[in-house]
Amino acid sequence: LAEHPPDISDVQTDTGVILGTAAYMSPEQANGRAVDKRADIWAFGCILFECLTGKRAFQGQTTSEIVAAILKEEPDWDLLPATAVQPVKELVQRCLEKDPRKRLRDIGDARIEIDEALSGPEAERVVSTRKPTRAWIPVGLTGLILGAAATLILWPPGPAASRPVDRFSIPLPAGLTFSDPPSLAISRDGRTLVFAARSAGEQRLYVRRLDEMEPRPLKGTENGRDPFFSPDGEWLGYSSVDRGLCKIPLAGGPSLPISALITWGQRGADWDENNRIVFGGGLPMPGLWSVLSEGGTPQPVVRPNQEDAKDWYTFPDVLPDNRGVLFTGFRNGKSSISVLSFGTGKVRTVVSPGRNARYLPTRHLAYESEGQLRVVSFDPQQMVTAGVTRALIEDVEGPWFSIDYDVSLNGTLAYVPATACMSKLVWKDRSGEAQALELRPRHYMSPTLSPDGLRVVAWIREGSLRGVYSGGVEGEPFTRLTPGDDDLSPLFTRDGKYVLFTSGRAGKYNMYKISADGSGEPERLTDSPLMQKPTSLSPDGDTLLFNQGVAAGGSFEIWQCQLNRPNETRPFVRGGHLDIEATFSPDGRWVAYQSDQSGRFEIYVRPYPGPEPKKQLSTNGGWAAVWNPNGRELFYKATTGLMAVPMAAGHVTGPPYVVFAPVGGATAQARDYSVSPDGQRFLFAESVTPPQINVVTNWFEELKRLVPTK
């Protein structure tokens, strides 16, 4: 017998969710699925095992280890004493059946089985063979077991006392900036955060336990993004722009490949209880795909069809019991949340507009819409929403196709606030002296000056919509230039009469042009299934350099075309890496660009039209190259500040030097500044606030109060 009865004082029951000590948590409870009285049967089995053996059925040093044991391991049945009657041993095993459908259904049945076992002939033989002073053990055991059962199940506690909801922020260390979302995940026990960030031009994953002060880089996750946890919390899955889908043990060890499939726009993944990973495929392979966590060939789960007319599916979230999967569909900047039933194979929309949905064990659905984190009651069996939708967090808007948030099973919410993505337009001189334009903070991206330096275009994010805007360089209000809801990456033509841009208005992210004054309709320039983005025009305005995605992977290449024959394209830089943001020198004889082929972004220059090899200009990481209009300097960004390389006829004439520091910016994958025609001022889109992660503990208390379920 155990030296003391198990402590069951922490076991709590409430509508929709059961909160208890990890040692007595059922598998379905640990996985966040809906629970019923069979979870109490499991807890009773744990108590019975502990009474018989003196040891807990599932052990571990931490909550994560205990949960992992519950999900993956069996109790050590050999610990059951030989003197225990066989029916009681079988009862323990029936109570600790991982599949709730096979588990004992009612505690009253346990009482009957124990009474019958202890009054049967086997029990009498056990008692008769032992010393008289020990004959009381079966009777004492019965009382202890049934007393515990009565406390735990027959007279369950009332609703758990409301726990305080706490809020705090975790700033990123100096020099770290978030990667493009999704870049944040939280473990199921709510104790560990993982996020993707850049430092010195290098992107990797970082681990931050909530009981520690600083994050630590996760070695082996270079170029990693989009993290997600395995159900047992021992592994971390992630995507890599050069390796595809990978996993790495959190306790330490090498990163292992799962699938080499890499596509542009691949966003979101979920690791289900059957060791299957469901992920969003991106372009040009839209849809949801699945692959075993041990690796293999990805298989399609669901693909867009013409009736559905979505560009791609992202952010899968597998429902309890593998009934189906929630996911987000995008088209033309608009998004909706759908659910696929694995049983029927049917897809239906459950929320529109909305994106990045999470099913919560409180029987709620959390999702983002119009910059708010909203919550609505959700039935995972019927796969329908019900009741009132409420916005619980107001500032969760992200810069691209998603927001950064995650929720643990015990109700800890982590998210990146919208202010981390907000920026302001700022003029800086060569000393670093700054003067902000009198404009409200918004999601300004890629500000680009007109050739005469009097106008500026930028693409601005508003809710789930993106558009190209134009304004004056001294703070005149910005006005909408393009009529679409999914327009980005503007670039003036050399004569300043037109603006080139990328748009997803036709279901493909191709290049368009529109009059710089906004008159007329946009003219489509290219028609390709691959993402395209204009980056630079030759001095004569005839040749366009642009980025183009790669069909077989998540990399980008540099291509070129004549502006009057835009569909006659040809490659300029092809290397299987992120070769991006190419820009012509003022004399048109050189092209500078950034590439991550070394494992981090560096600045390179190549003669145009070639074929001479490239030369590396940066010495310690670099991105966002912009030429001085006089051709005698090449500027780029680095963690040390805004850098400049002295140049003459495409050749380096001196080492890189710091123009001014520090220099901010939300991403290393797009130019976020422009140089004035005289080369003396720089127009930046600078972050308004330092990057941080907001954390809300016991968030489920708010859900239950503000969004009650039936």
Write the pLDDT tens digit of every residue in 289-332.
999 999 998 999 988 764 444 467 889 999 988 899 999 987 65
pLDDT value of residue 448: 95
Give CA angle at 112 (107, 117), nearest 5°.
125
Strand 288-292 versus strand 299-302 pairing type: antiparallel
Pairwise CA distance, residues 699 & 17, whole Å? 13
In this structure, the chain runs to a length of 710
Residue 101: what pLDDT?
82
Where the chain has pLDDT below 50, the residues are: 1-20, 123-139, 149-160, 306-310, 666
Retrieve residue 39's tokens. 């979870």
- Give this prediction's pTM: 0.65
Distance CA 383, CA 380 (A): 5
CA distance 314 to 312: 7
Distance CA 688, CA 144 (A): 62
pLDDT at 128: 44
Per the DSSP assignment, residues forming a β-bridge with 290 are: 278, 299
- How far, in Å, CA of 42 to CA of 20, rounded? 12
Helix (H) or strand (E) holding 633: strand 633-638
CA dihedral for 672, 652, 201, 316, sign (positive or negative): positive
- List Cα–Cα distances, 664 to 20, 55, 72, 628, 702, in angstroms: 45, 56, 46, 20, 36
Residue 80 near residue 48, CB atoms below 8 Å: no
Q: Which two tokens stand for residue 365?
A: 């659905």
Q: Is the peptide bond before 320 cis (omega within 30 degrees of 0)?
A: no
423-687 CATH pick, 2.40.170.20, 3.40.50.150, 3.30.160.100, 2.120.10.30: 2.120.10.30
Rounded CA gap, 272 and 277, in Å? 6
Token duo for residue 248: 């790495």
H or E stretch covering 119? helix 107-119
Cite the beta strand spans of 161-264 per DSSP E: 166-171, 177-178, 184-186, 192-199, 202-209, 216-217, 224-229, 235-240, 244-249, 256-259
How many helices (H) and strands (E) would you count in the chain? 8, 52
- Would you list the domain boundaries of the chain? 12-154, 166-420+692-706, 423-687
| C-alpha to C-alpha distance for 554 and 225, rounded to whole angstroms | 12
* Residue 52 structure tokens: 């018989």
Q: How far apart are the first and last CA of the chain?
A: 42
Whether 153 and 132 have beta carbons less than 8 Å apart is answered as: no
3-state secondary structure of 211: coil
Question: Environment class of residue 653 by beta-carbon count within 10 Å: exposed (0-12), middle (13-18) or buried (19+)?
Answer: exposed
> Same fold for the domain at 166-420+692-706 and the one at 423-687?
yes
Q: Over the range 392-408, which residues count as b (16 or more CB within 10 Å of their CB) and which as e?
A: bbebbbbbbbbbbbbbb
Give the number of C-alpha atoms closer than 13 A to the C-alpha of residue 349, restricted to the C-beta side.
12
CATH number 1.10.510.10 given to 12-154:
yes
Using CA of residue 70, residue 71, residue 76, residue 77, what is the dihedral sign?
Answer: positive
CATH of 166-420+692-706, one of 1.10.3720.10, 1.20.120.550, 1.10.10.10, 2.120.10.30: 2.120.10.30
